[in-house]
Amino acid sequence: MKYTPKDGFPYYFDLVKHSACKSLFSSLTTITFLKSIEEKKAAFRYASGKWNIKQIVGHITDHERIKIFRAFLMSRKETVELWGYDQVSLIENSRFNKLTFEQIIIDFVNVRHASVSFIDSLSEEQLKLKGKAGPYEVTLENFLKSIIGHEIHHISIIRERYLGQN
């Protein structure tokens, strides 16, 4: 079965399923790529009504913040019902278009460092804990991997639709 982004967790997990969680979060590939994009290009929209690159990177950062908090709760065996979030509202109420692309990348890097610090603190037993990701029961490790899958999805869109790379 081929998943799509509308499937959520399975699609994002499928993008990275065989990779090691810690190496996914430690990779510098996305950061290096983002730093290669010029400020002027970061404000580009490939179509009316679409986010620009600054907003996409802000969204990736917001998503990681939210998902790492949820992973933290899962790692501590909290069983609270985790609410969804409105990604459009988060973008509309952000300052991404007022910030430089460099500032947005710095924020992304800072969030990533915090994520790595959290992941480094987890035991193998914690990574095997199970929790809910929408209708799916998943291990904490797979939940974490889906964060990078989400990132890979959006970086692919930037490459293809915004920069014309394949």
- 108: domain CATH number is 1.20.120.450
Bridge partners (DSSP) listed for residue 131: 138
Mean pLDDT of 52-78: 96
Gap between the Cα atoms of 90 and 62, Å rounded: 8
Gap between the Cα atoms of 64 and 70, Å rounded: 10
Q: Structural domain of residue 151, as residue ranges?
A: 5-162
Mean pLDDT of 135-150: 93
84-133: pLDDT as tens digits: 789 999 999 999 999 999 999 999 999 999 999 999 999 999 999 998 88
Q: How many domains does the chain have?
A: 1
**Strand pairing of 130-133 and 136-139?**
antiparallel
Q: For tokens 């065996």, what's the residue?
A: 77
The token duo for 74 is 């899962």
Gap between the Cα atoms of 75 and 140, Å rounded: 7
Judge whether 148 and 60 are in contact, CB under 8 Å: no
pTM of the predicted model as reported, rounded to 2 decimal places: 0.94
| Pairwise pLDDT comparison (147 vs 137), residue with the higher score | 147
3-class secondary structure, 15: coil
